[in-house]
Structure 1
């Protein structure tokens, strides 16, 4: 059976739950927490793209920390280092989306090799997979850290196929991030896009092989 790779951040686990740590640690309004949460995630992704284009590399934990520091500074907030570390811990304690464990279990029971493919560095991913209850249902956790660049660089997807000992065209990527789906498709993977927000697809990159509303929809197609 074909290997199935799931993106972690935004696909299996909800990055929006990092806002809980922001709310717990900062004495600010709900509206500002929402702005901080959105800004943090946006800057995190921007920095990963920027580093890839600059052919430089920092582990994703550092990228996430840099993005947090920038976002706090933008809103004139300067919590101490201990507070920043507690906020950062939110990225290791994200809530899984409904159906995440069921999808992994069903696909493994159907004979698929099931993996995570993520920009997160190994320590981040291992901690999160354990905390979210996903670890027992995964055959592999594959990090872009292995090739020291970030999705959507083709080498990240190519390395994943190598790690799974499979032809890249036989690998499936499931992601809620449309840019990730476009990157995987361009590299030669089959793709499933989880379009929770009913957005239009990207204008750059191949169309997804299938588009679904949630993880249950992805599992139904792939099993």
Structure 2
């Protein structure tokens, strides 16, 4: 469904509703009920939408989720299960390829969500990670705003206005991708043009009509999502639904084969990077090298650029500041970790060229939880060693400005095996 518009108009930015426009959060709501049915999950979710869309000023998101459950007769275990499993929400199948295609066309991309900062950025990180898997270019949004940050729930105008300074555009330059009828009305009243990705067939409300309405994201964006070349690795093409905008490329296999990474810089010079105890999971250089711990065996995965050591994938772990510690990734990703990726085609004897996304981290008030971190755009490329004791260094990656004091700039020289 579509309505007439100026054929020459093109947005400078495209902004999305998160929990329905990009994510299939509905299945998680269903699975969190005792019956695990859409009948119960749908009633709960619909009541939640009614509450949040009528709230206006921000009230704690998690409280509204619990209120909605109680009002439709669900036990407290339902919202507890929902929030516990929040990080498992999956994007709709076509979302990764659509986001990569729009990014390649040069659009600024953003998200506005009726969530708390904690829940919102967990879900945003999830979209960014899912839209990066198998693609040569990691995906990040240029801007994101939660209801807690703006102080308002959609469809209040202020909730939409809050993203304008972050994107540096006017409302009239934004195409908003709605996930619900309330978003169609709210974004239109905020001065944005709107398309509706009505994946689950929600009922229409209000007088505003979207430029286009469709059950799939790529079709909802018809006329804005054009042909472009975005490369993915063929090893994931069976799992990622691609459109004509996607061109599969290389298979996943190590570049260079395997190699040692020899440190250069400070007291770590001429020492191999490795995974010794007692710093479990950390990459270290120098120090007293136990006789049973040899140099780490590194490899770079073709296509993704993922860095591995001794068969384990390597991540940056964030805690605020201008650097991230270099550790083995967890089997279940934490909210403050992101994979380290490296350039393709590196050569024996050269300095290892890798990067980690720059993250902004929000501390959780519960000391048992990791901070929630999200990409802000840009990357860190400077390896450095934190001088723990003598010439014993813990490896990190960060900004050049962070390589001061106990953080010594380190180059890792590739030594092919």
TM-score (norm 1): 0.81
- The number of aligned residues is 207
1:1-223 alignment runs, 5 A limit: 2-19=12-29, 21-22=31-32, 26=34, 28=35, 33-52=37-56, 56-71=57-72, 74-75=73-74, 77=75, 79=77, 84-132=79-127, 133-134=130-131, 136-196=139-199, 201-202=204-205, 204-223=206-225
Higher mean C-alpha deviation, range 107-116 or range 173-182: 173-182
- The C-alpha deviation readout for 1:36-75, integer Å capped at 9, x for no partner, is 20122112112213322xxx5312222223223433xx15
Deviation at 1:212, TM superposition (A): 2.8
Contact 2:29/2:45 (8 A) holds in 1: no
Deviation at 1:116, TM superposition (A): 1.1
Name the structure with the higher helix share.
1
CA distance in 2, matches of 1:115, 1:188: 16
Name the structure with the higher strand share.
2
Q: Provide the secondary structure at the position in 2 that maps to 1:120.
A: coil
CA distance in 1, matches of 2:166, 2:212: 24
Q: Provide the secondary structure at the position in 1 that maps to 2:124.
A: helix
Q: Provide the secondary structure at the position in 2 that maps to 1:191.
A: strand
- The C-alpha deviation readout for 1:102-147, integer Å capped at 9, x for no partner, is 1111111000011111111222122123334248332222212222
Q: Which has the higher contact order (CA 8 A, sep 6+)?
A: 1
Contact 1:106/1:219 (8 A) holds in 2: no
Contact 1:92/1:125 (8 A) holds in 2: no
Contact 2:114/2:146 (8 A) holds in 1: yes
Q: Provide the secondary structure at the position in 2 that maps to 1:4.
A: strand
CA distance in 1, matches of 2:201, 2:54: 27
* Structure possessing the higher radius of gyration over alpha carbons: 2
CA distance in 2, matches of 1:134, 1:98: 10
Distance 1:102 1:78, change over 3 A: closer
Deviation at 1:205, TM superposition (A): 3.6
The answer for unaligned runs of 5 or more in structure 2 is 1-10, 133-138, 226-417
